A and B are shown apart, each in its own frame.
Chain A
């Protein structure tokens, strides 16, 4: 395809998109004006807050969240979107797993590129739409209560940010790209219709839109945390979840520009390859470097808010306060600068040289310090409790901590120059991050969702049995899958390929068993959600996570 036609297509599609967006905005404005009038008559400053508070059911998972622009509604949008993408990307994952039943491709025989598409879509959607999306959902939903925010402003901007982000995610899906989540050129630059690259340009645009959406949302949330707190919540007494979110978003704003700039340069390379293709001294490695300056912080962005949430969840089940608030804040804060310094451990095999290699290895070791402080803080908090109530959210937390310990240790191991030489590009790495993504990112997101369940479903309780099944299958499945990968990877099983050497069959089969178990487990969650919505409301639509901060004197309370 020639550059001119490409440009033409891009501009036509973009103009259509903008026309549609404009129409939607017009419609929205009409309704909004009416709502504003009603709210005004009732002495409310912000119409969305008025409607959320006065109308039954608008605080729950419902379409009204997509129209209202108060923080809670925005949070619900993000939560719903992230759940949908979790199920889509999860299905991709299970199908990939199943296709590896034999050493030679079975499902995708002679169409191996489909595997490459699935693995790319799975990773991008899971990281940006599920991990980041659910974190934003919980932040927007919980923080106004946690921080006693009085003046919930900037809802319009957050709303725009959400739509840009969502459209970006949809573009990623539509692009059917196979570049892997790191977009390395020259693969990302090929426009070969059969190598699943025909729409790579759309994948680049979609990615950039996701970034723009997240950037805008980050700024509004940072603003909310720093400037819009209620008077009786000083910075030093902020809930740890707020600290976690704050650090995450600062980290995002400090590292995302590298990737955003790299994507623009990559896009330019479609027309005039000067940046990354190897001509005139340019090099694909420069893209890899720009990517990983962002690529390592993103993996911490996917756990820092959840780390903060764990601090919120544990006290509800032990009845004790967090063991050490200050060291909690300190550790979360220390993770932020350190995570910015270790990105080179993803490129230890790319010829950075021994000196750089040693630097990044050492820096990666340093990351264990704040990680360990955090984990010990959790353990100490649980240790000092007389009794721990082991319902599903708490089980998710304990399992998450356990998984994080394994994932952290394998992470530090592979940061060593020598070991990295051995395990780079193998399933060891896949095992490493799935321990953490499944245990912390996914597990804690579900724990929080279970805790705010009555609010999400306007006053229903979740079914304990189904939730227990969901937890058990998720925990067992992800452990089995990740351990199969970790062991197989240590023996040299290459990752990101649609087939494997016959001698690895046993590890692949273990991982398939785990993957299928996880997949079945998520069906229990879906069943639980549907079941709840079919029932009559049986409890008040408040939830334990938020209730503490609504009480005049904070103390531990029991919760479902």
Chain B
């Protein structure tokens, strides 16, 4: 009787030891220090001051804005939620990755992975990110880190004054290369915007206030 109990304890002990060791090593390994996206992910419930859309074409020769200049510098006011749209241009794998600092380093946040930018030409993928700290950021593609790399400048003072300072609006992606397309996508939250539509002779046809 005692003998039998001892045996059953031994049998159970084997199972328990193996399972324990598995659990122990698994928790140990999975708790390895990983810097979550280089400290780039935002604390939750950040106030959003405004929204902004940026479209980039992904091409191994360089990020571009629909065959505009490559790797444009992006100016973004502090605490703005930026909606990135990346359009596959050459069918190669790309990522949209950012980090804080003027150059690429290892503390990164990948907004769009090679899985999301699908290598299907013309496919659009979306990601949004709120720049909640002022400073210089780098955006790049980890597959083509030497050619597809540009800077993001997040301006803390601009955010309060953008609503009426059109000068900072001009720096936007869409506005610096196309004469006919001066619409900027920089729209502060809860503010009045006057939009004027002009004909080809630059005569104002209608105005509206949104």
Whether A501 touches B115, Cβ cut-off 8 Å, given contacts A88-B22, A198-B33, is yes
B43: which A residues are within 8 A, CB to CB? none
CA distance A314 to B7 in the complex (A): 34
B207 at the interface (CB under 8 A from A): no
Closest beta carbon of chain A to B17's beta carbon, Å = 8
B36 at the interface (CB under 8 A from A): yes
Binary CB contact string for chain B from 67 to 105 against chain A (1 if under 8 A, 0 otherwise) = 000000000000000000000000001000000000000
Q: State whether A499 touches B113 (Cβ < 8 A).
A: yes
Chain A's interface: helix, strand, loop or mixed, by majority? Answer: helix
Closest beta carbon of chain B to A329's beta carbon, Å = 38
**Which residue of chain A is the closest to B119 with respect to CB atoms?**
A501
B25: which A residues are within 8 A, CB to CB? 88, 173
B55 at the interface (CB under 8 A from A): no
B180 at the interface (CB under 8 A from A): no
A530: which B residues are within 8 A, CB to CB? 11-12, 14-15
A193 at the interface (CB under 8 A from B): yes
Interface size, chain B (Cβ < 8 Å): 35
Q: State whether B119 touches A532 (Cβ < 8 A).
A: no
A536 at the interface (CB under 8 A from B): yes
Interface size, chain A (Cβ < 8 Å): 42
Q: State whether A110 touches B37 (Cβ < 8 A).
A: yes
CA distance A531 to B10 in the complex (A): 11
A385 at the interface (CB under 8 A from B): no
Candidate in B4, B14, B109, B119 with the most chain A CB atoms within 10 angstroms = B14
Closest beta carbon of chain B to A171's beta carbon, Å = 13
Q: State whether A534 touches B11 (Cβ < 8 A).
A: yes
B29 at the interface (CB under 8 A from A): yes
Q: State whether A103 touches B34 (Cβ < 8 A).
A: no
Q: State whether A104 touches B113 (Cβ < 8 A).
A: yes
Q: State whether A117 touches B29 (Cβ < 8 A).
A: yes
Closest beta carbon of chain A to B123's beta carbon, Å = 10
In the complex, which residues 90-132 of chain B have their Cβ closer than 8 Å to any Cβ of chain A?
93, 106-107, 109, 113-116, 118-119
B30 at the interface (CB under 8 A from A): yes
B41 at the interface (CB under 8 A from A): yes
B209 at the interface (CB under 8 A from A): no
Q: Give 19 A-B contacts (CB < 8 Å), ordered by A residue.
A: A83-B18, A87-B22, A88-B22, A88-B26, A91-B22, A91-B26, A104-B115, A105-B113, A110-B36, A110-B109, A114-B30, A114-B34, A117-B29, A118-B29, A176-B32, A501-B118, A526-B18, A530-B15, A533-B14
Give B residues with C-beta under 8 Å from A.
Answer: 4, 7-8, 10-12, 14-15, 17-18, 21-22, 25-26, 28-30, 32-38, 41, 93, 106-107, 109, 113-116, 118-119
A88-B26, A110-B37 known, 11 other contacts, Cβ within 8 Å: A62-B10, A87-B21, A173-B28, A176-B28, A194-B33, A194-B35, A196-B34, A499-B115, A502-B115, A526-B18, A536-B4
